[in-house]
């Protein structure tokens, strides 16, 4: 079967401890027609040297660097602009994929006729040890209002059809840029189809922006008002629903 080109988007910032493990999960993909676009966001560690090694190892790897530290959203957008693939996939520089992630995911999208899709995923700690239970996605396609109520789509699992939908970009916020992108796609009436199979692994780092959930509630409210142009009452409603579903997801 012909394999459509998949563009993998990865922002890099001080990821030298994890970058090689992430790279190995890309190089081991059973699906071979991919390009990997990595952009260094002015790292102060050894990340650029590692990126240079990766680009010499495989000509499907493209590396670039920002002139100034810009944040992951803007950095991903620079990579999206350079992408040539029919499909755009996302993988952060400390996360990993199952060896058959792209093969199974693209086959699923073709079977469903899906223009946007996401999968279930597992969790790793900083040492690579599996923690928590697998986050299982809903088998019911996710709509715009569904995503406002709960966090269902994770960046390391999402793929969208840029050839059909056109390219969508992230907001310039320092936080929740990927969430804004998913909402912008879903707002067109497109739905995201969930593949309930653990095909990616999110690394829970101690310094992660999402490690303290309670600090995010107020920011989530403001984010909805700013990016979705919601009235205060709407933003409160969806923040409460998002908070309740998040509590159920992480603690029950």
Q: What is the pLDDT of residues 5-49, one digit of tens each?
A: 999 999 999 999 999 999 999 999 999 999 999 999 999 999 999
Q: Are residues 178 and 62 in the same domain?
A: yes
- Between 101 and 218, whose confidence is greater? 101
**What is the domain count for the chain?**
2
Hey, what are 77's tokens? 């957008």
Q: Are residues 173 and 224 in the same domain?
A: no
Say which DSSP state 129 is in.
Answer: -
Identify the pLDDT of residue 213. 62
User: Could you give the CA distance from residue 179 to residue 5 in angstroms, rounded to a whole number?
Assistant: 24
Q: Are residues 78 and 100 in the same domain?
A: yes
Q: Are residues 192 and 224 in the same domain?
A: no
Identify the pLDDT of residue 207. 61
Q: Are residues 218 and 185 in the same domain?
A: no
Identify the pLDDT of residue 2. 84
**Cα Rg, the chain, nearest whole Å:** 17
User: Could you give the CA distance from residue 69 to residue 236 in angstroms, rounded to a whole number?
Assistant: 33
Q: Are residues 30 and 88 in the same domain?
A: yes
The pLDDT of residue 212 is above 60: no
**47 belongs to a structural domain:** yes
User: Could you give the CA distance from residue 105 to residue 239 in angstroms, rounded to a whole number?
Assistant: 30
Q: Which domain holds residue 233?
A: 212-252
Q: Are residues 69 and 143 in the same domain?
A: yes
3-state secondary structure of 97: strand
Q: 56: pLDDT confidence band, cut at 50, 70 and 90?
A: very high
User: Could you give the CA distance from residue 166 to residue 96 in angstroms, rounded to a whole number?
Assistant: 26
Q: Are residues 37 and 82 in the same domain?
A: yes
User: Could you give the CA distance from residue 16 to residue 204 in angstroms, rounded to a whole number?
Assistant: 16
20 touches 94 (CB < 8 A): no
**1 belongs to a structural domain:** no
Q: Are residues 162 and 226 in the same domain?
A: no
């Amino acid at each position: 079967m012909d394999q459509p080109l998949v563009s993998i988007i990865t922002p890099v910032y001080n990821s030298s401890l994890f970058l090689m493990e992430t790279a190995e999960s890309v190089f081991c993909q059973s699906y071979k027609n991919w390009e990997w676009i990595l952009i260094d966001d002015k790292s102060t560690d050894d990340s650029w040297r590692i990126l240079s090694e990766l680009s010499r190892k495989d000509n499907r790897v493209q590396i670039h660097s920002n002139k100034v530290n810009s944040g992951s959203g803007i950095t991903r957008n620079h990579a999206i602009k350079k992408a040539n693939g029919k499909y755009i996939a996302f993988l952060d520089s400390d996360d990993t994929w199952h060896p058959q992630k792209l093969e199974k995911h693209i086959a699923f999208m073709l079977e469903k006729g899906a223009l946007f899709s996401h999968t279930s995923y597992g969790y790793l700690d900083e040492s690579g040890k599996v923690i928590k239970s697998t986050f299982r996605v809903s088998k019911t396609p996710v709509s715009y209002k569904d995503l406002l109520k709960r966090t269902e789509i994770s960046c390391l699992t999402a793929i969208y059809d840029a050839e059909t939908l056109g390219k969508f970009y992230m907001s310039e916020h320092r936080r929740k840029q990927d969430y804004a992108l998913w909402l912008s796609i879903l707002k067109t009436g497109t739905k995201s189809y969930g593949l309930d199979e653990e095909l990616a692994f999110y690394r829970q780092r101690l310094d992660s922006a999402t490690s303290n959930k309670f600090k995010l509630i107020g920011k989530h409210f403001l984010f909805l008002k700013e990016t979705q142009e919601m009235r205060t009452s709407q933003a409160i409603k969806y923040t409460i629903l998002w908070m309740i579903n998040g509590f159920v997801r992480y603690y029950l």
